[in-house]
Chains A and B, each alone.
Chain A
Amino acid sequence: MRLTELQTVEVSKYVAAATQYRETYHEIYDHVMNEMADLALPYDIELVGKIVRQHFGSFKEIKKHEHRYLTRTKYSYFKLLALEITGLFRITNIAYTILVLVLGGLAHQFATKNAYSLTSVYLWLMGFSFVLVSVWLFNNRYILFNLREKLTMKGEIIGWLLLFPFSLAPMLFTVFLAEHNLFGLSIQVKNLITISFFLLVISYARSFIILYRKRLKVF
């Protein structure tokens, strides 16, 4: 059957109500439209509901599947990211790794020589990076404040991967870096922890960029 523009909008709205993410919306909508085109029956919105229920299950089941799909994809990318990070120790990346370690060493030496605490640098850099990452996510429409637009799984995965280091930052500060930290650590030890954390974050960010450019695809 051939659908009119109004009927197409009605189908689209129906599928939009059934799905939470843009990726699954597109897939189900395309499927339903193909099926409708092949049917030799008159248009009825009940028919759309029947096709969706028969082939994809209830709204609840669709959302459950979306959640499973998202979790699976999220962890597969997290695994790829971990692989990229371990790749830093490969012989081909050794020059980069040595450079980062040398820079870290120099920063530590400078701080120790001048009895300078890197805690404030840590707070400023983490705060600045958080704002930068949030702006980037918003600018690329991975964060949406428009309730009428559907979220994308890609956006959620990218947001999750990018904001993960920031979820560790407050705990690290409270336990090790704050003035009255849990272990009463000296400035030197605190600086060493700060620099180690930064080195890890830099490696994480570099691996994320490689993954984002090469493989991160969720349609």
Chain B
Amino acid sequence: MYGYEITQKVKIITQGELLLKEGALYPALHKLEAEGLLQTTTEVVDNRVRKYYALSEDGDKEVVNKLQEAKDFITQLQLLLNLKPNFS
């Protein structure tokens, strides 16, 4: 996927609730690329160079870890939110 495509995809999936500002998106993409978690290819589309991002092998493994981290965090958050103050 290329940068603009990612922003549009996020917009569609979240029904416009989450707007990815590219000022935050591209630095994040470049950081992940430098860390070797993303691999890139380029193609010429409509006379301009387009850069595509895809998960690298290391990136695939990292996604599993990060998803687990996120799930654990949400579980902890739910536990905290379900706490009822005891006044007795």
Residues of chain A having any CB pair with chain B under 8 Å: 23, 26-27, 29-31, 33-35, 54-57, 61, 65, 68-69, 72-73, 76, 217, 219
Per-position 1/0 for B15-57, Cβ under 8 A of A: 0000001110011001101111001111001101111000000
A30 is contacted by which of B23, B33, B50 (Cβ under 8 Å)?
B50
Residues of chain B having any CB pair with chain A under 8 Å: 2-4, 21-23, 26-27, 30-31, 33-36, 39-42, 45-46, 48-51
A55 is contacted by which of B2, B23, B30, B48 (Cβ under 8 Å)?
B23
- Cα A29 to Cα B34 in complex, Å, equals 21
Determine the chain A residues whose CB is within 8 A of the CB of B30 once the complex forms.
65, 69, 72-73
B4–A56 CB distance below 8 A: no
B23–A56 CB distance below 8 A: yes
Q: What's the least CB distance linking A49 to chain B, in Å?
A: 15
Q: What's the least CB distance linking A117 to chain B, in Å?
A: 44
When A55-B23, A56-B23, A72-B34 are in contact, do A31 and B48 touch as well, CB less than 8 Å? Answer: no
B41–A219 CB distance below 8 A: yes
Name which of A23, A35, A57, A219 has the most chain B CB atoms within 10 A of its CB: A219
Q: What's the least CB distance linking A197 to chain B, in Å?
A: 30
Task: Contacts A65-B27, A76-B35 known; list 19 others, CB within 8 Å.
Answer: A26-B51, A27-B51, A29-B48, A30-B2, A30-B3, A54-B23, A55-B21, A55-B23, A56-B26, A61-B23, A65-B26, A68-B27, A69-B27, A72-B31, A73-B30, A217-B40, A219-B42, A219-B49, A219-B51
B26–A27 CB distance below 8 A: yes
- Cα A196 to Cα B49 in complex, Å, equals 45
Q: What's the least CB distance linking B28 to chain A, in Å?
A: 11
Q: What's the least CB distance linking B36 to chain A, in Å?
A: 7
Determine the chain B residues whose CB is within 8 A of the CB of A35 once the complex forms.
4
Q: What's the least CB distance linking A18 to chain B, in Å?
A: 13
Q: What's the least CB distance linking B44 to chain A, in Å?
A: 10
B22 is contacted by which of A55, A73, A217 (Cβ under 8 Å)?
A55
B22–A56 CB distance below 8 A: yes
Q: What would be 20 A-B contacts, judged by CB atoms less than 8 Å apart?
A: A27-B3, A27-B51, A30-B2, A30-B3, A30-B4, A30-B49, A30-B50, A30-B51, A31-B3, A31-B22, A35-B4, A61-B23, A65-B26, A72-B34, A73-B33, A76-B36, A217-B39, A217-B40, A219-B40, A219-B49
